[in-house]
């Protein structure tokens, strides 16, 4: 169950999880918002997953809660797994009423913490939920402190991906780049928290490297602001807003440096994809990024919101291609060793089986490859 249906990190992780669980023999019912974009259902079109749509017509909807209870009973749900705030609350109540074990995964930042009503609702949901999962250690710590939870109540399960690298990239030809041009790539929806404005500013600071271009894959509210900023800084011809792209491996294969200028993150899937592609990486030191990049041994860390530090780090990698290749190789080794999707799914499967065992349910024979 998830409250959104666009191409974001939580939604992509959900698609990966469902696909892998189905391959291991699980049946899945996916609960999505009615009238939304439909991205998840399109991604799952080739699977056997059953799609159901909830209608949340107002912030507090007893009808939606009762509908979920009915859905759990109708489909004879064994485990309910909610993602993010809204479905954590509704899913917890419905699972409790239906007598179904419940798991919640929280993906993003502390958006719930600014309003007392949200904190109280989440505390209520977690009180009814036997397993609460955060995708990063930092987020797990915030949940414990913000909601007064014990350390044992919040588990950390890192995101994972199954990555198929592109053999060659069409991106540079698409952008009309010459062989001597250098390309920076950022992947993430165009929201202020993603920090793309600092990437544009950093590009303008790279005065000694005028043939550096910046491509940003994503869409969102800051599109026009980024275009205006690029014009004001005199780099509009070297900033390429690609919009929503599904061919991330193709984009990564054409980049010289991957940058993650975010102001806040949990564990971004785009970072894991860049690591798997053996990209040289410069990333903001936020969330679990430092841990993922092995304290800087698999990528360069910079303070968030510091365009000067970002420009300096990029300049250093462009001027030292051998070091860039070594960092890329280290990133790929670490991604394959620590952040393969199999490890993520096995951890969730272990949680599911633990919750089913006391109820006398037969444990599913799951095998992941």
Question: Are both 191 and 138 inside the same structural domain?
Answer: no
Res. 58 pLDDT band, cuts 50 70 90: confident
Residue 364 falls within a domain, yes or no? no
Residue 4 falls within a domain, yes or no? no
Q: Domain containing 27 — which CATH number?
A: 3.40.50.2000
Question: Are both 81 and 179 inside the same structural domain?
Answer: no
Q: How many CA atoms does the CB half-sphere of 310 hold within 13 Å?
A: 30
Question: Are both 151 and 105 inside the same structural domain?
Answer: yes
What is the model's pLDDT at position 151? 87
Percent of the chain at pLDDT > 70 equals 97
Query: How many Å apart are CA 112 and CA 94, to the nearest integer?
Result: 21
Q: How many CA atoms does the CB half-sphere of 226 hold within 13 Å?
A: 30
Question: Are both 185 and 275 inside the same structural domain?
Answer: yes
Residue 46 falls within a domain, yes or no? yes
Angle of helix 137-147 relative to helix 116-127, nearest 10 degrees? 100
Model confidence at 185: pLDDT above 80: yes
Which residue, chain included where needed, has tokens 């349910």? 361
Question: Are both 311 and 353 inside the same structural domain?
Answer: no
Residue 1 falls within a domain, yes or no? no
Q: Which residue in 362, 229, 241 sits closest to 307, CA to CA?
A: 229
Question: Are both 108 and 213 inside the same structural domain?
Answer: no
Residue 369 falls within a domain, yes or no? no
Question: Are both 180 and 315 inside the same structural domain?
Answer: yes
DSSP 8-state code for residue 361: P
Query: How many Å apart are CA 81 and CA 1, to the nearest integer?
Result: 6
Q: Which domain holds residue 73?
A: 9-161+340-359
Q: Which residue in 76, 84, 98, 83 sits closest to 18, CA to CA?
A: 83
Question: Are both 151 and 199 inside the same structural domain?
Answer: no
> Domain total for the chain?
2
* pLDDT tens string 248-278: 999 999 999 999 999 998 889 999 999 999 9
3-state class (DSSP) for residue 349: helix
Strands 280-284 and 300-302: parallel
Q: Which residues pair with 155 in a beta bridge?
A: 133
Query: How many Å apart are CA 182 and CA 206, to the nearest integer?
Result: 12
Question: Are both 315 and 355 inside the same structural domain?
Answer: no
Query: How many Å apart are CA 200 and CA 349, to the nearest integer?
Result: 42
Residue 295 falls within a domain, yes or no? yes
pTM of the model: 0.86
Question: Are both 187 and 222 inside the same structural domain?
Answer: yes
Model confidence at 292: pLDDT above 50: yes
Query: How many Å apart are CA 267 and CA 107, to the nearest integer?
Result: 8
Question: Are both 328 and 210 inside the same structural domain?
Answer: yes
Query: Which helix (H) or strand (E) segment is 199 a member of?
Result: helix 196-205
Question: Are both 200 and 138 inside the same structural domain?
Answer: no
């Amino acid at each position: 169950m998830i409250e959104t249906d666009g191409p974001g990190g939580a939604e992509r992780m959900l698609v990966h999880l469902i696909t892998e669980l189905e391959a291991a023999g699980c049946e899945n019912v996916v609960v999505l918002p009615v009238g939304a974009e439909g991205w998840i259902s399109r991604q799952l079109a080739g699977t056997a997953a059953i799609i159901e749509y909830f209608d949340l017509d107002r912030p507090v909807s007893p009808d939606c809660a009762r509908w979920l209870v009915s859905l759990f009973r109708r489909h004879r749900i064994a485990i309910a797994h909610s993602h993010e705030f809204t479905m954590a609350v509704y899913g917890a109540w419905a699972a409790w009423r239906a007598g179904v074990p419940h798991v919640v995964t929280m993906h993003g930042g502390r958006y719930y913490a600014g309003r007392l009503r949200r904190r109280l609702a989440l505390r209520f949901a977690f009180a009814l939920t036997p397993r609460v999962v955060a995708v990063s250690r930092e987020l797990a710590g915030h949940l414990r402190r913000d909601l007064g939870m014990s350390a044992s109540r919040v588990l950390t399960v890192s995101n994972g991906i199954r990555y198929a690298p592109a053999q060659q990239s069409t991106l540079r030809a698409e952008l009309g780049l010459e062989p001597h041009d250098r390309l920076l790539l950022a992947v993430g929806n165009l929201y202020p928290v993603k920090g793309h404005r600092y990437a544009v500013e950093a590009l303008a600071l790279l005065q000694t490297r005028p043939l550096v271009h910046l491509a940003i894959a994503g869409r969102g509210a800051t599109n026009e602001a980024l275009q205006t900023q690029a014009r004001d800084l005199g780099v509009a011809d070297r900033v390429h807003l690609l919009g929503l792209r599904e061919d991330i491996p193709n984009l990564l294969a054409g980049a010289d440096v991957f940058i993650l200028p975010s102001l806040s993150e949990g564990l971004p899937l785009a970072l894991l994809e860049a690591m798997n592609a053996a990209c040289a990486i410069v990333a903001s030191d936020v969330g679990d990024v430092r841990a993922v990049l092995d304290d800087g041994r698999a990528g360069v860390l910079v303070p968030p919101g510091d365009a000067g530090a970002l420009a300096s780090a990029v300049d250093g990698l462009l001027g030292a291609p051998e070091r860039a290749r070594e960092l890329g190789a280290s990133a790929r080794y670490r991604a394959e060793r620590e952040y393969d999707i199999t490890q993520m799914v096995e951890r969730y499967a272990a949680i599911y089986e633990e919750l089913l065992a006391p109820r006398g349910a037969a444990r599913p024979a799951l095998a992941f490859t």
